[in-house]
Amino acid sequence: MTDTAIRLADYLAPSHLIESVALTFRLAPEATRVLSTIRFTPNKARPGSHDLRLDGENLTLIAAAIDAVPVTAEPDATGLTLPWADLPEGPFTFTAEVEISPATNTALEGLYMSNGMYCTQCEAEGFRKITFYPDRPDVMAPFRVRIESDMPVLLSNGNETATGPGWAEWTDPWPKPAYLFALVAGDLIAHSASFTTMSGRPVALNIWVRPGDEGRCAYAMDSLIRSMRWDEQTYGREYDLDVFNIVAVDDFNMGAMENKGLNIFNSKYVLALPETATDDDFARIEAIIAHEYFHNWTGNRITCRDWFQLCLKEGLTVFRDQQFSGDMRSHAVKRIEDVLTLRARQFREDGGPLAHPVRPEEYVEINNFYTATVYEKGAEVIGMLKRLVGDDGYARALDLYFQRHDGEAATIEDWLKVFEDATGRDLAQFKRWYSEAGTPRLKATEDWADGVWTLHLEQVTPPTPGQPLKHPKVIPVALGLLNGNGDEVLPTTVLEMTEAKQSFRFDKLATRPIPSILRGFSAPVILERATSPEERAFLLAHDTDPFNKWEAGRALAKDLLARMVTDNASPGPDWLDALARVATDDSLDPAFRALALRLPGEDDMAQTLHASGITPDPARIHAARRQMADALARRLQPELAGLIDSLAEPGPFTPEARAAGRRALRLAALALVTRTDGGLRAAEAFRSANNMTEEVGALACLLDIGRGQSELDTFESRWGKDRLVMDKWFSLQILYAAPEATAETTRRLTDHPAFDWKNPNRFRSVIGALSGNHAGFHHASGDSYRLLADWLIRLDPLNPQTAARMSTAFETWARYDADRQALIQAELDRVLAAPGLSRDLAEMAERMRR
């Protein structure tokens, strides 16, 4: 593995730059011809006599020439080298004609077909499957593209500059790296709108979908318009082409892609009607539309020098889409949800064999580094920077970033330098957040004497693969102090921790304060502090910081659940009463109350137990969590019916946050009622539901108590033709299967005629759900481990990227007992022994193997 690794330290500037690119596509399913004309010029930043290496994979070379002189060099498996001796001294024109086969491209990288339409995916290294090219982000060029095809709609990047029967020409004036190239050709219909930018330029907006889906685009379009306005108002960033196109495709490995002027989306994140999409779907559509749109400045106008800098665009763009969603919805609720995801995905990754820095230093396959660490921790790091330099400093730094680096391929060093130059701060120590992996543990203890309260903090980051030793990081710790009446005696103050151990003094206090530490989750760390249940209940009732208020309830539940698992404790009145008060407090946002009622997940609990030195038993965690839900259901029983009725939404469905929050609380209450009424109310809610949130929510309640068979049948006959809705039908049955029935249920569903395993969404909704059922996946028989490995081995030859992603289900093996460890290791070995294993899956399995 190490011999094929690519290293940041080995970076060399490109030997040649590109002045312009012209491409012609003659589309045919199994024999598309791609003609390219590329104007190269030697790169002055890399003097010397260099061969020109062009990347190229799975291409049939028909002809190539340099300034009309035929090229005699033969391509190898990964590209074509043009020897220095054959290159003219100054600029020259390279032309090539190649043949490719989109119809047989199952990896969904490069040019491929989905439901009869042509589309592309070039990030990270897909352009090399389209033609010979220096496929690296620091080579930027303006593109002109001619598409020849009978398909009615022909799209590429930029503006349409000419068109005729059977062809269209697109010109993108903005220099871009090849990974942002896109082409679409198909029988599509547009949902259109227009936007006028802040300087008065009109922009045509189109969302292109398959005929029949045009009625499901309104929410995505509305989200796009709000994103465009928000980026003008918040970051001063204006759109820069005459048209912005979005295309929805059914076969897509990821969520969406920010190709210049032509975003391509997984249809799951575009198409939505109240009857087909849940509130979570709506929220995700809003966030992803915004994310891809925001990339136009953070990613496209300023791109990455190399793939090690991926967090430069992704961390920043996630941070921006989180800000946007907070502004559109509720900052408090958004923050809690983001931290839940961060802990579930990134802390999990950071604590296991796949841990890597936000800016990795080596990789074998770059597709394996589109991770929670690069994206979500990358966004947290920017949040910390903003907290440290303040809102004004952040705004000045971002203005400088856009001004200084527009049109460039930049690095994390460039990014930090604009903060240093704009604010005068030295960020040398802060940079460790980019270079060191692992989640710091922050231990807090306190002293109280003579009106002086002292907070002692100690930070320790455990070793991660390849990084045994860690250094102290800059940790912004947002702190507030309350007195015994719940009054705030110290409003939120950001302490800057820079040492391994540090103390902070607060004097002139009348009584011993109750601290609220790490407000708003001001740093991505694990806070360790011995706290009594009384104190947690007090903070749950009184903390003025909504995140820490929720966190107190969460910690209370986790402490209890841990004691139930390890000591057979049972839920006592302290937790039950505290939670009941929040659930029924009408002065609180229903969305917040719904989050407070959500019990800690089983995987989360396994992670927490492991972090405190206890080997988690998945079956016990599962049983204890159900017992906890039962106790809560009994305690709240007198209130639940009233709560459900009071939250009924009069009037037509709206996806906005207020209404969604009420539905979330209503469903949380319904889930509890279901545990005491045998499913009566949930069955009724399923029958009367007029939106997917409630339909699927009620169905989940029933499945959770082992019922809902007839509802599943009704659902299937109602939605059998709707791919996106049927994905929910598949995954629900697996997520709610009993531990001993999870593998069997999954196996049965893989035999269902609608299980199209080559479609990534469907594969994820079934095989992805298998590992989403914690107790079922980790069932002691090892059946689920085997089933997952079987499917990884089967999918890998067709779609290595999705197979490699899904293999991360095994990343937590070290948490569990010796038997489970051995079972998982055996499956990883079986994967590694599969003939013709892809580089993607091989790298993942090797990193996870003991």
DSSP state of 558: H
Burial of 683 (0-12, 13-18, 19+ CB in 10 A): buried
Rg (CA), the chain: 28
Owner of token pair 């990134």: 346
E strand or H helix at 661 = helix 657-677
**Which residue number places its CB atom closest to ligand PHE?**
254
Rounded (10°) CA dihedral 493, 496, 499, 502: -20
For residue 58, the minimal CB distance to ligand PHE (Å) is: 18
Q: Which C-beta is closer to ligand PHE: that of 298 or that of 693? A: 298
Q: Closest separation between CB of residue 238 and ligand PHE, Å?
A: 20
The CA-CA-CA angle for residues 143, 146, 152, to 5°, reads: 130
By beta-carbon proximity to Zn ion, the closer residue of 377 and 536 is 377
DSSP state of 1: -
| 295 versus 815: smaller Cβ distance to Zn ion | 295
Cβ closest to ligand PHE, residue 285 vs residue 664: 285
Residue type, 517: I
Cβ closer to Zn ion: 288 or 555?
A: 288
Q: 259 or 771: whose CB is closer to ligand PHE?
A: 259
Is 19 one of the catalytic residues?
A: no
In this structure, what token pair is assigned to residue 127? 């352009």
Run of H or E residues at 162:
strand 159-164
User: CB-wise, 179 or 777, nearer to ligand PHE?
Assistant: 179
The structure tokens listed for 128 are 């090399």
Query: Choosing from 169, 292, 602, 827, which is the catalytic residue?
Result: 292
What is the nearest approach in angstroms of ligand PHE to the Cβ of residue 312? 12
Q: How far is the CB of 804 from ligand PHE (least distance, A)?
A: 12
- To Zn ion, the closest distance from the beta carbon of 234 in angstroms equals 18
Q: What is the dihedral of CA 37, 19, 308, 840, to 10 degrees?
A: 0
The Cα–Cα gap between 514 and 479 comes to: 11
Residue 410 binding result from Zn ion, ligand PHE, none, given CB thresholds of 5 to 8 Å by partner type = none
List, in sequence order, every beta strand (DSSP E) within 311-363: 362-363
Count of residues that bind Zn ion according to CB under 5 A? 2
Please, which contacts does 103-106 make with residues 24 or more away whose CB atoms are closer than 8 Å?
A: 103/29, 103/30, 104/30, 105/58, 105/129, 106/758, 106/798, 106/799
Dist CA 73 CA 79 (whole Å): 11
CA gap 41, 628 in Å, rounded: 68
In the complex with Zn ion, the residue whose CB is nearer, 317 or 801, is 317
Q: Could you count the other beta carbons within 10 Å of the beta carbon of residue 79? A: 17
Which H helix or E strand runs over 840? Answer: helix 839-848
Residue 123 touches which member of ligand PHE, Zn ion, none, C-beta under 5-8 Å by kind: ligand PHE
Burial environment of residue 284 by CB neighbours within 10 A (0 to 12, 13 to 18, 19 or more): middle
What is d(CA 603, CA 651) in angstroms, rounded to the nearest whole number?
A: 38
Q: What does the DSSP assignment read for 445-513?
A: EEEEETTEEEEEEEEE---BTTB-------EEEEEEEE-TTS-EEEEEEEEEE-SSEEEEEE---SSPP
In the complex with Zn ion, which residue's Cβ is closer, 82 or 108? 108
Among 191-199, 237-245, 311-319, 789-797, which window interacts with Zn ion (CB under 5 A)? 311-319
Nearer to ligand PHE, 256 or 518 (CB): 256
Q: Which of 295, 312, 292, 296 is closest to 304 using CA atoms?
A: 312
370 interface partner picked from Zn ion, ligand PHE, none, CB below 5 to 8 A per type: ligand PHE
Closest separation in Å from C-beta 269 to ligand PHE: 10
Minimum distance of ligand PHE from residue 781's CB (angstroms): 36
Question: Given the rule CB under 5 A, which of 120-128, 233-241, 307-315, 698-706 is the region that contacts Zn ion?
Answer: 307-315
User: What minimum distance in Å lies between the beta carbon of 177 and Zn ion?
Assistant: 14
Residues 6+ apart with CB under 8 A from 816: 606, 615, 616, 618, 778, 824
Q: Tell me the closest approach of the beta carbon of residue 727 to Zn ion, in angstroms.
A: 22
- CB of 233 vs ligand PHE, minimal distance in Å: 22
Residues binding ligand PHE (CB under 6 A): 121, 123-124, 254, 256-258, 291-292, 314, 370
> Among ligand PHE, Zn ion, none, what binds residue 674 when CB lies within 5 to 8 Å by partner kind?
none
- Site stretch for Zn ion (CB under 5 A), options 278-286, 313-321, 366-374, 378-386: 313-321
Q: Which partner from the list ligand PHE, Zn ion, none does 256 bind, CB cut-off 5 to 8 Å by kind?
A: ligand PHE
Is residue 14 classed as helix, strand or coil in its secondary structure?
coil
Query: Contact positions toward Zn ion, by CB under 5 A?
Result: 314, 317
Which residues have a catalytic role annotated?
A: 292
